[in-house]
Chain A
Amino acid sequence: MEIRKITILGGYGRGGEEELVDQVDLEMGDLLSIVGPTGSGKTALINDIGLFAAEDTPSMRRILINDAAPAEEFLDDPAKNPIALITQHTGFLSDVTVANFLDIHAKIRKHGNHDAVIADILEFANQITGEPIILDSAMTELSGGQSRALLIADAVIIGNSPIILLDEIENAGINLTRALEMLRKYEKIFIFVTHDPRITLSSDYRIVMKGGAMQDAITTSPEEKRIGEKITALDKIIVGLRDRISSGEHMLEKEFQSIMDMAWLT
């Protein structure tokens, strides 16, 4: 089944009040961010999406695929589920090597050339994680960032999921700017739960959460997209500083000042 569109139909907030946003439609290639303070209901919203809520969760929201109720097989068989959900706390439990696991997953998804698929995943994952993943390492030995990088690469390449939900990947220990660049190349719907202004402003839309309810749906303006790029530049400076300090360099106030002066010029 070809996925063209996903629709979120609003329900109720925690206090029982009707959500101010009653419908959000996303089409292939769209990036959506879900924003709001901790406890505002962001994770509950992507869980509703990930599980195709049908007025059967506390929010009473409904999720439609191609304007219709999703097929039951989406939920019964994760291999047929068009949505991949990558949460903050999913790690791996399997006591097998990375190569072995990817091979099993590729077999279930009936990919022909496993070696090529595994090579693609590793290349993708290693572009967004700090420490390269080695095929012979055990899945359980991967760091948080490596696990998340592998999960994203697996969902994009083996799963080939048309809709990918990413819960706070800014905390995942991956190179976010690079990840966003890579993901943009795929014609998919990406939904981010995020506190990060780079992700938010490089998305096409954002849903603002409050008290468990969708409060507002905002289309990112061209002006905001430009600001997003500037925030990304600022972030590169922070990342540069972080890498230098992490690698044992000593910092000087004078040098720091000149870096900051350069930043203000951009």
Chain B
Amino acid sequence: MKLIMCAGPPTSGKTTVLRQVVRRLLKKGRRLAYLKIDVQFADEDEVFRDEFGIPARKVYSGELCPDHASVLVLGDAVKWAEEEGADLIVETAGLCLRCAPYIAGSLGIVVLEATSGMNLPRKIGAMLALADIAVVTKIDLVSQAEREVFRANIMDAARIDVLEADALRGIGIDRLVRRIERAEDIKKPLMLKGSPPVATCTICAGKKDIGWEHHFGVLRKLDSDLFYRGE
């Protein structure tokens, strides 16, 4: 089975891109399952179930970092998709712009909106660098000159393929679909592609107190290097 992992900041158009992709892949006879990971609200699973009739689920990470939660639940999710006889499409929460939830052997797609400012590619790190392909959306809202700069900045930050798409109207999606069709099946054991900062910590887990002395794990003071406190 193929595992497609779609990351990208909120409102960048991940769901719109995936709907266009799913519509085309289903027409070509592929079986698909969809998993949305989000923090506290998501209705995309209903969208995919209602619109395409495919098995769709969501998981709320709650107080965990959503990409941390993704690491914990994806093993089960892959089993679920296997039982459905389907390729699995995972859409991440996209809230932490540093994290990279991609799994080795999956096809990692990062969706970036052209309107997000030409320096975004330089800011988001592993989410971009560890992806296999970047899809730039909302290209109709930005001048060609700025699109060129945006693309050049992506290529500077990561040596990956860049596709431009107008996902609302389904333009540029066919090339992404061809890329997905070429993707290899995943092999077990499943491992994260890189070591993104998906660590959970006392703050992520809901402890609101300010100051290092209230926390455990990997800490730092204003004037210190990282140190570890705990068992």
Contact = CB atoms under 8 A, between A and B. Distances in A.
Interface of A: 47, 51, 53-54, 56-58, 72, 75-79, 81, 84-87, 89-95, 101, 104-105, 108-109, 151, 154-155, 158-159, 161
Question: What are the nearest 7 A-B pairs in CB distance?
Answer: A90-B143, A78-B147, A78-B148, A108-B152, A51-B171, A79-B148, A154-B145
Contact of B164 (A76, A104, A105): A76
Nearest to B146: A94
B224 interface: no
Contacts of A47: 140, 166, 169
Nearest to A107: B152
B149 A75 contact: no
Interface residues of B, number: 27
A154 B147 CA distance: 13
Contact of A56 (B149, B164, B171): B171
A105 B148 contact: yes
Given A76-B164, A91-B143, A108-B149, 13 more contacts: A51-B171, A54-B174, A56-B173, A57-B169, A75-B175, A76-B163, A78-B147, A78-B164, A90-B141, A90-B143, A92-B143, A104-B149, A155-B144
Contact of B144 (A75, A85, A95): A85
Given A93-B115, A94-B117, A95-B117, A75 B172 contact: yes
Interface string B147-170: 111011000000001111010011
The majority secondary structure among interface residues of chain B is: helix
25 contacts: A47-B166, A47-B169, A53-B171, A56-B170, A56-B171, A56-B173, A57-B171, A72-B175, A76-B161, A76-B162, A78-B164, A79-B148, A79-B151, A84-B144, A87-B140, A92-B146, A93-B115, A93-B117, A93-B118, A93-B142, A94-B117, A104-B152, A108-B152, A151-B143, A155-B145
A117 to B, nearest CB: 13
Contacts of B142: 90, 93
Nearest to A139: B146
Contacts, number: 81
Nearest to B170: A56
Scoring A56, A89, A159 by chain B CB atoms within 10 A of each residue's CB, the highest score goes to A56
Contacts of A93: 115, 117-118, 142, 146
A95 B144 CA distance: 16
A108 B152 CA distance: 7
Contacts of A78: 144, 147-148, 151, 164
A105 B149 contact: yes
Contacts of A159: 144-145
Nearest to A83: B144
B174 to A, nearest CB: 6
A56 B165 CA distance: 12
Nearest to B155: A77
